[in-house]
Amino acid sequence: EIVLTQSPGTLSLSPGERATLSCRASQSVSSGYLAWYQQKPGQAPRLLIYGASSRATGIPDRFSGSGSGTDFTLTISRLEPEDFAVYYCQQYGSSPPWTFGQGTKVEIK
Amino acid sequence: QVQLVQSGAEVKKPGASVKVSCKASGYTFTRYYMHWVRQAPGQGLEWMGIINPSGGSTSYAQKFQGRVTMTRDASTSTVYMELSSLRSEDTAVYYCARNSGSFLYWGQGTLVTVSS
């Protein structure tokens, strides 16, 4: 089973700042099958990025994903007020099982 | 448009079972596998298992083997997740999510509370 470790646990930033979230896998993620989700309180997760770097339909271009192998990054170029949320990475290249990281909370500083 | 509509909140006693439904619409039901994911209060996302709506085959996370059963009814485009021998640690929101490798479509979630 691939274990995903996200860092930092919490990121305190101001609107307009750049956010950089990390996701490290315990072994290589096959074919870059790594996704990122955003979750707000009381809502289901929302797919942002799939295939490590492809934006899902309707996702603003301030969200970008990069990485390969065991190291992946989600970057939010300029934080908007609606971007403060919890973000999860997920691998689907070596599944089952599908696995998620423990999450990074992006909070307003 | 694709929609996954789940059944309502449940309150169960320890040792009981719960069965949550997820009704799909807006696409061909048998073409996409369906996952179940849960989230305990204040915690992260935990994958529980997957079902093939076409043939009914399943794969469960090791943690839930022996306690979870996923089934489907193709006539109503509905998948079900039944969890037995409930304990307080099973209190969580349970989601269905359609497989496309990643999970683009999610149900709204069903809160299951286990309390004596």
Interface of B with A (CB under 8 A): 35, 44-47, 49-50, 59, 61-62, 95, 100-104, 106-109
Select from A39, A92, A101 the Cβ nearest to the Cβ of B101.
A92
Those of residues 13-72 in A touching chain B at CB distance below 8 A are 33, 35, 37, 39, 44-45, 47, 50-51, 56
Mean pLDDT score, A63-87 = 97
**What pLDDT score was predicted for residue A93?**
83
Closest residue of chain A to B43, computed from CA coordinates: A102
Does the pLDDT value for residue A30 go beyond 90?
A: no
**What pLDDT score was predicted for residue B75?**
96
| Coil, strand or helix at A28 | coil
**What pLDDT score was predicted for residue A95?**
78
| Coil, strand or helix at A109 | coil
Going from the C-alpha of A86 to that of each of A1, A42, B12, the distances in angstroms are 23, 12, 29
The rounded distance, in Å, linking the Cα atoms of B74 and B72 is 6
Task: Yes or no: say if B94 and B109 are a contact pair by the CB < 8 Å rule.
Answer: yes
Q: What is the DSSP letter of A81?
A: G
Closest residue of chain A to B45, computed from CA coordinates: A100
- In this prediction, the residues of chain B whose per-residue pLDDT falls under 70 are none
